[in-house]
């Protein structure tokens, strides 16, 4: 079977190719990819090429397919896996395989599997590691967003606290505690707010800061303070731009106690240091934002580390259990990660989008791999719809859904867009 896929050949060398997939072996699965959201990690792999820790050394002769936030449909199942999977079944993939201690992962390391493709061959190790996950949601894009949601869930699970008089760590956030998400009005921050409010373990106070007025306004419209209150959480959005005595104000919201859990969603030195200073006793700071500067550092108050048991963790991804939790919460309608998506596009837009990702504002760029479509901000659909009836209809659907991408929009797009060919 022929496939079209975006493949990595070297540093800054991505190409949209058409080539023949090999027949599947008895321990492999043939699948169609429907959606894939582009991650900053794909940009890092593209600019680093074989210097990236997950990318093979021989990509110049054996290029790999990029993209790891994929969702699609199983087409054919090898004999070994027919007891677990069947044609027509929708799936998502946990890309962090950890197979035999190797760093190999779909979207970085394989010739025939990755999200930026029409058809793929799923290798045996994905199933062996229980990383091919059943998905029964009503839209493919939700299955793609389960991977970034799992990273958020993993961060909440990785945070920890201590028990006085014991050396045992209690994993997870403080149930009913004080939480702050700094630089939290962006797409991943909103995913964290959504999860914090709707998970089984949640804070009683959730403070979300940012310096972008428009992002904060949009965030407060998507996840309202009233919605949080209905779930037992007091949610406060704060624009810290131009504020004086920010820390004093943030601490006042806790009655001077400080925060049990602080998540930092931007790799900014001053933000990390502020997060450290607002920690309460046994407070945990989770540095979620991934810096590109290998020398990135910030000052930490080690007096508080010693006497107040404050501590730091850093997370960059979730595990398979986190992914399963994300899929379940999405399927049950408990979280809606659609707020992460700010752009849509087709497979033909992947090369330029990936290589220029840091310079494209907004959040997740959602790709539908079987259509042709330039990368379009969802906010621009109405304007572009003045000359394109399909985009005009999409704008209408999205507007009726509080400005968010949705299952109805996906179904309309897939039914009316030009196929990739």
Percentage of residues in the chain with pLDDT exceeding 90?
91
Q: Distance of CA 120 to CAs 112, 137, 229, 300, Å?
A: 6, 21, 44, 46
pLDDT digits (tens, 9 = 90+) for 74-113: 999 999 999 999 999 999 999 989 888 888 999 999 999 9
Rounded mean pLDDT, 413-420: 97
Tally of CB atoms within 10 A around 87: 13
The DSSP-derived string for 177-188 is: -EEEEET-SSHH
Tally of CB atoms within 10 A around 373: 19
Q: 61 is written with which tokens?
A: 């002769």
Per-residue confidence band for 160, with pLDDT thresholds at 50, 70 and 90: very high
Looking at residue 74, its pLDDT comes to 98
Nearest-10 crossing angle of helices 213-222, 187-198: 30
Tell me which residue has tokens 């229980």: 130
Architecture of the domain made up of 2-148+319-407: Alpha-Beta Complex (3.90)
C-alpha gyration radius of the chain? 22
Q: Provide the 3-class DSSP secondary structure of residue 319.
A: coil
Looking at residue 102, its pLDDT comes to 87
Report helix, strand and coil shares of the chain as percent, to nearest 5.
35, 25, 40
Domain boundaries, the chain: 2-148+319-407, 152-314
Spatial distance between the Cα atoms of 374 and 379, rounded to a whole number of angstroms: 14
Spatial distance between the Cα atoms of 52 and 38, rounded to a whole number of angstroms: 17
Q: 388 is written with which tokens?
A: 């394109």
Strand partners, 77: 29
Spatial distance between the Cα atoms of 206 and 203, rounded to a whole number of angstroms: 6
Tally of CB atoms within 10 A around 358: 11
pLDDT digits (tens, 9 = 90+) for 106-151: 999 999 999 999 999 999 999 999 999 999 999 999 999 999 999 9
Class of domain 152-314: alpha beta
């Amino acid at each position: 079977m022929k496939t079209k896929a975006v493949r990595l050949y070297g540093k800054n060398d991505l190409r949209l190719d058409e080539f023949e997939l090999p027949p599947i072996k008895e321990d492999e699965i043939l699948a169609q990819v429907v959606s894939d959201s582009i991650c900053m990690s794909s940009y890092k792999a593209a600019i680093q090429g074989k210097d990236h820790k997950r990318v093979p050394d021989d990509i110049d002769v054996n290029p790999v397919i990029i993209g790891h936030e994929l969702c699609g449909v199983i087409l054919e199942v090898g004999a070994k896996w027919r007891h677990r999977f069947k044609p027509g079944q929708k799936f998502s993939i946990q890309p962090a395989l950890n197979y035999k201690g190797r760093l190999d992962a779909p979207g970085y390391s394989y010739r025939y599997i990755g999200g930026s493709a029409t058809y793929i061959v799923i290798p045996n190790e994905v199933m062996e590691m229980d990383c091919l996950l059943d998905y029964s949601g009503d839209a493919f894009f939700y299955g793609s967003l389960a991977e970034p949601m799992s990273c958020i869930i993993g961060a909440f699970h990785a945070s920890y606290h201590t028990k006085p008089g014991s050396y045992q760590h209690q994993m997870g956030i403080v149930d009913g505690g004080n939480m702050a998400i700094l630089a939290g009005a962006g797409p991943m921050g909103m995913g964290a707010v959504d999860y914090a409010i709707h998970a089984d373990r949640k804070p009683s106070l959730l403070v979300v800061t940012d310096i972008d007025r428009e992002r904060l306004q949009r965030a407060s419209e998507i996840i309202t303070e009233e919605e949080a209150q209905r779930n037992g959480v007091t949610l406060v959005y704060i624009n810290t731009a131009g504020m004086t005595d920010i820390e004093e104000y943030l601490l006042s919201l806790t009655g001077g106690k400080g925060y049990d859990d602080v998540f930092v969603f931007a790799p900014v030195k001053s933000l990390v240091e502020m997060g450290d200073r607002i920690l309460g006793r046994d407070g945990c700071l989770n540095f979620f934002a991934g810096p590109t500067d290998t020398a990135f550092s910030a000052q930490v108050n080690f007096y508080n580390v010693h006497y107040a048991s404050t501590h730091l963790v850093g997370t960059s991804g979730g595990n398979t259990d986190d992914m399963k939790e994300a899929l379940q919460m999405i399927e049950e309608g408990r979280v809606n990660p659609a707020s992460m998506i700010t752009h849509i596009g087709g497979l033909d837009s992947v090369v330029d989008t990936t290589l220029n990702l840091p310079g494209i504002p907004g959040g997740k760029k959602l790709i539908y791999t079987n259509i042709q479509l330039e990368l379009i901000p969802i906010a621009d659909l109405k304007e572009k719809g003045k000359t394109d009836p399909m985009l005009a209809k999409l704008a209408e659907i999205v507007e009726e859904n509080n400005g968010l991408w949705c299952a109805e929009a996906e179904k309309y797009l897939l039914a009316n867009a030009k196929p990739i060919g």
